[in-house]
Amino acid sequence: MRIRLDIAYDGTHFRGWAKQPGLRTVQGTLEAALARIIGSEAQLVVAGRTDAGVHAAGQVAHVDLDEGQWSRIQTRHGKAAHDPAGSIASRIRGVLGAYPDVTVQRSCEAPEGFDARFSAVWRRYRYRLADDGAGFDPLRRHDTTRLRGALDETAMDAAARSLIGLHDFAAYCKPREEATTIRTLLDYRWERDADGVLVAEVKADAFCHSMVRALVGACAAVGEGRLDVGDPVVLRDALERTSEFKVLAARGLTLVEVGYPADDLLAGRAAQTRARRDGQSTSE
């Protein structure tokens, strides 16, 4: 039985998504909670393996339960459970406690052919960046990065939009052996919210390691006047990592949403993605 899980977390005190020995991670925390419910270990497969400090409001994962594990879900306190797949989320929340920094918002039986990672057609991130023109909200200190000075949001937005399209983003990715850096950037834009905070929306078919924070750093350098509006494209097309801008902090970054095709297209999408990106990371 394959179960889809919709997940949210404050990444501040996690060392990223992926389970690592001796470190507190989102995957490790959730798998430990799930094991208490199903009586044995099961591995989560995630849409995007976020880095240390990165948050999520719309992360998606799946887990495959064997016959014995599913049987434990179907029966609770000696009685048949109502909506056993849907009850997994509430039972995990019960294990995690009243005020956890990670939660499973929803759970359901996954449609035929669904794969949380390979069936996804896009991921959307949001980055919050405050300059001297923005107010400081203590309640948002964990998901907002601050830079000194005033940033030119018009120039930043123009630079961001110029990067959209299918390109090799090697200049904006940490290199990983045998992993392609070709991505389709579907949307990238900047605007100020009601509090004056600069907010970026970044959407792509997938992201390679540190790509979003590098894209944000390049446009922040434009906003500061250290780069011209056209420089991010020039740097991208050079296909080499550069010291012309800084990769900004993880704290401002949140995975907001993962998009999937219609149910009857899920299996085909997963097969297509595996063939095209075998061994490639889709993490931020």
CB 1 within 8 A of CB 70: yes
Higher-confidence residue: 278 or 96?
A: 96
Nearest CA among 125, 156, 136, 153 for reference residue 253? 125
Q: Where are the alpha helices (DSSP H) in 132-265?
A: 153-162, 211-224, 231-238
Task: Give the tens place of pLDDT for each residue, 105-158.
Answer: 999 999 999 999 999 999 999 999 999 989 889 999 999 999 999 999 999 999
Task: Give the tens place of pLDDT for each residue, 150-181.
Answer: 999 999 999 999 999 999 999 999 877 777 89
Tell me how far apart the alpha carbons of residues 271 and 33 are, in angstroms, rounded to a whole number: 31
Between CA 48 and CA 24, with CA 71 as vertex, the angle to 5 degrees is 35
- 25's tokens: 């991670």
157 catalytic, yes or no?
A: no
CB 10 within 8 A of CB 102: yes
Domains and CATH numbers, the chain: 2-109 (3.30.70.580), 122-259 (3.30.70.660)
Nearest CA among 112, 126, 88 for reference residue 7? 88
Q: Output the pTM of the full model.
A: 0.94
Q: How many CA atoms lie within 13 A of 35 on its CB side?
A: 11
Report the amino acid identity of residue 117: R
Task: Give the tens place of pLDDT for each residue, 192-219.
Answer: 999 999 999 999 999 998 999 999 999 9
Tell me how far apart the alpha carbons of residues 30 and 104 are, in angstroms, rounded to a whole number: 9
Catalytic residue chosen out of the listed positions 6, 10, 51, 157: 51
Tell me how far apart the alpha carbons of residues 30 and 63 are, in angstroms, rounded to a whole number: 11
Q: How many CA atoms lie within 13 A of 205 on its CB side?
A: 18
The length of the chain in residues reads 284
Rg (CA), the chain: 20
Q: Give the count of beta carbons closer than 10 Å to the beta carbon of residue 86.
A: 14
Query: Which element (helix H / strand E) includes 38?
Result: helix 26-38
